[in-house]
């Protein structure tokens, strides 16, 4: 699976869902330089050292963000207040661009978790 698989996923998504997710993809790739794009759990995902950092998906009436960890979302409950959420992800509107500050926190928490869990792997994120 590769970036071309993500391209296919996005081209098959309804509008405006695909436009919003394309913008999200761009922001995430800026925050995760060197990230490897793939499809995981039938949704676009960005991995570092083979470990999932950020996933996103289109649904009929909303979009979803998934850090591939049950520990990230609970740490941001205040920032995500008012959004439908589970420990594994949260929903956002089909035309809503997530704030870069929120994305930075989501990515940073997940990468820190991966560094602690897999100390022998590299999770370098340099801009």
Residue 75 within a domain? yes
What angle, rounded to 10 degrees, do the helices at 100-117 and 17-31 form?
50
Distance separating alpha carbons of residues 114 and 112, to the nearest angstrom: 5
Is residue 1 very low, low, confident or very high in pLDDT (cuts 50, 70, 90)?
A: low
Tokens linked to 65: 């963000």
Tokens linked to 116: 């602690």
Convert the pLDDT of each residue in 78-107 to its tens digit: 999 999 999 999 999 999 999 999 999 999
Distance separating alpha carbons of residues 71 and 57, to the nearest angstrom: 19
pTM: 0.94
Q: Which domain holds residue 11?
A: 3-117
Residue 126 within a domain? no
Residue 91 within a domain? yes
Give the distance from CA 93 to its chain's centroid.
15
Residue 124 within a domain? no
Residue 127 within a domain? no
Q: What is the pLDDT of residue 126?
A: 57
Residue 111 within a domain? yes
Domain count, the chain: 1
What is the CATH number for 111?
3.90.1150.200
Residue 81 within a domain? yes
Tokens linked to 125: 């994120």
Give the distance from CA 65 to its chain's centroid.
5
In contact, 32 and 90? CB cutoff 8 Å: no
Torsion of CA 55, 1, 94, 80, to 10 degrees: 0
DSSP state of 118: -
Residue 42 within a domain? yes
């Amino acid at each position: 699976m590769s970036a071309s698989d993500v391209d296919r996923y996005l081209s098959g998504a309804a509008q405006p869902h695909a436009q919003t997710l394309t913008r999200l993809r761009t922001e995430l790739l800026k925050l995760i330089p060197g990230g490897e794009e793939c499809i995981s759990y039938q949704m676009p995902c960005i991995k570092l050292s083979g470990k999932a950092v950020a996933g996103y998906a289109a649904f009929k009436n909303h979009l979803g963000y998934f850090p591939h960890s049950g520990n990230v979302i609970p740490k941001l409950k205040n920032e995500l207040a008012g959004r439908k959420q589970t420990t594994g992800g949260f929903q956002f509107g089909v035309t809503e661009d997530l704030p870069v500050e929120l994305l930075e926190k989501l990515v940073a928490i997940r990468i820190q978790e991966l560094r602690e869990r897999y100390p022998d792997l590299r999770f370098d994120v340099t801009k």
